[in-house]
């Protein structure tokens, strides 16, 4: 398995995380601090262009120039291990690194752009960022800290049925670097296990896309939501309580549209949606609002918290009774 670092990390900000679920970023920082991952957030960083790129607004060359600029910042600050909170940022930058390292013409053309802009200091040197050795998804860093995560768990969610949704841009684009498989992806499942929870594992449609497809959500809305609905119906059949995500675009597709799909199908989906770092931060005892950011969710998380608190209270009462009889 590839070597996973825990220092010299550039935590790459995501436009969808910042705009839709900022609790994902605060949760990531919270968990990183708990398990001993050293990181830097550089406010000079640029967007990966993912939404525009996959909607044919940004061409590959423009995206590559912007990626090379981000790589310069990582090298300049000696934080060359770049960790992505978004699977699209992950896939975009891995492709950019491969283009810059393996295609001399692309590299020279990118450096000409920097030269013309009088930004020669940003010149990209071949192999200064390696696609496989320097670019990671946040879940990979946390996978390497599973034992540390287990030490900080305060809440028991083992009575909930939890399923995982693995992002396409992690499992299906750069699949040769995927940890814990891509045909039956399990990296999120393993992280959930580190929290003392046994996820439901394989289910029909586990590998199915969320349905967003970037522009498909807007230009083919009916088809997009049908794909989302199919997966939600499968999860309902599995009596799923929580669906865990690793990409803000996937989370947005399910969380924002679940109420509309329920109304359209005249059905009910009692499924809560959390990013994996939100789940881990919560079971570690993070504040649901100040850290986890549940106030930004469309499907309210408060009922889930009430259930957890009720179960926790009942468990404590059971332990008190047990101790009385034991003594």
Query: How confident is the prediction along the chain (327 residues), in pLDDT tens digits per residue?
Result: 678 999 999 999 999 999 999 999 999 999 999 999 999 999 999 999 988 888 888 899 999 999 999 999 999 999 999 999 999 999 999 999 999 999 999 999 999 999 999 999 999 999 999 999 999 999 999 999 999 999 999 999 999 999 999 999 999 988 888 999 889 999 999 999 999 999 999 999 999 999 998 888 888 999 999 999 999 999 999 999 999 999 999 999 999 999 999 999 999 999 999 999 999 999 999 999 999 999 999 999 999 999 988 887 666 555 544 554 455
- Using alpha carbons only, give the angle 253, 239, 313 rounded to the nearest 5 degrees: 100
Collapsed DSSP state (helix, strand, coil) of residue 81: strand
SS (H, E, C) 35-49: HCCCEECCCCCCCCC
Q: How far apart are CA 270 and CA 293, in angstroms?
A: 20
Alpha helices in 77-207 (DSSP H): 87-102, 104-116, 138-143, 146-151, 168-171, 187-194
Q: How far apart are CA 253 and CA 256, in angstroms?
A: 6
Q: How far apart are CA 176 and CA 185, in angstroms?
A: 13
Q: How far apart are CA 160 and CA 154, in angstroms?
A: 15
Smallest Cα–Cα separation from 290: which of 298, 299, 278? 278
Q: Which residue has the tokens 């071949």?
A: 126
Indicate the pTM of the whole model: 0.94
Distances from the Cα of 30 to the Cαs of 38, 192, 219, 294, in angstroms?
A: 12, 17, 37, 15
């Amino acid at each position: 398995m590839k070597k996973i670092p825990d220092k010299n990390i550039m935590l790459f900000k995501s436009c969808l995380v910042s705009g839709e679920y900022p609790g994902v970023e605060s949760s990531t920082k919270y968990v990183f601090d708990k398990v001993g991952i050293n990181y830097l957030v550089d406010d000079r960083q640029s967007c990966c262009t993912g939404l525009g790129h996959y909607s044919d607004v940004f061409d590959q060359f423009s995206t590559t120039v912007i990626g090379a600029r981000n790589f310069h910042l990582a090298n300049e600050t000696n934080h060359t291990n770049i960790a992505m909170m978004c699977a699209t940022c992950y896939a975009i930058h891995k492709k950019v690194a491969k283009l810059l390292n393996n295609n001399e013409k692309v590299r020279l053309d990118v450096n000409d752009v920097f030269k013309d802009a009088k930004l020669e200091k940003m010149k990209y040197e071949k192999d200064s960022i390696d696609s496989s050795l320097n670019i990671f998804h946040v879940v990979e860093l946390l996978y390497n800290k599973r034992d540390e995560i287990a030490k900080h768990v305060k809440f028991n969610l083992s009575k909930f049925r939890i399923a995982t949704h693995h992002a396409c841009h992690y499992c299906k684009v750069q699949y040769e670097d995927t940890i814990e498989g891509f045909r039956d992806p399990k990296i999120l499942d393993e992280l959930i296990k580190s929290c003392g929870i046994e996820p439901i594992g394989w289910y029909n449609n586990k590998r199915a896309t969320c349905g967003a497809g970037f522009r498909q959500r807007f230009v083919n809305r009916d088809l997009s939501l049908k794909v989302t609905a199919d997966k939600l119906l499968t999860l309902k059949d599995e009596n799923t309580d929580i669906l865990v995500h690793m990409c803000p675009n996937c989370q947005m597709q399910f969380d924002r549209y679940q109420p509309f799909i329920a109304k359209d199908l005249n059905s009910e989906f009692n499924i809560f949606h959390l990013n994996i770092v939100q789940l881990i931060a919560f079971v570690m005892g993070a504040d649901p609002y100040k850290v986890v950011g549940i106030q930004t969710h469309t499907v309210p998380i408060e009922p889930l918290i009430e259930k957890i608190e009720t179960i926790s209270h009942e468990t404590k009462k059971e332990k008190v009774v047990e101790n009385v009889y034991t003594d």
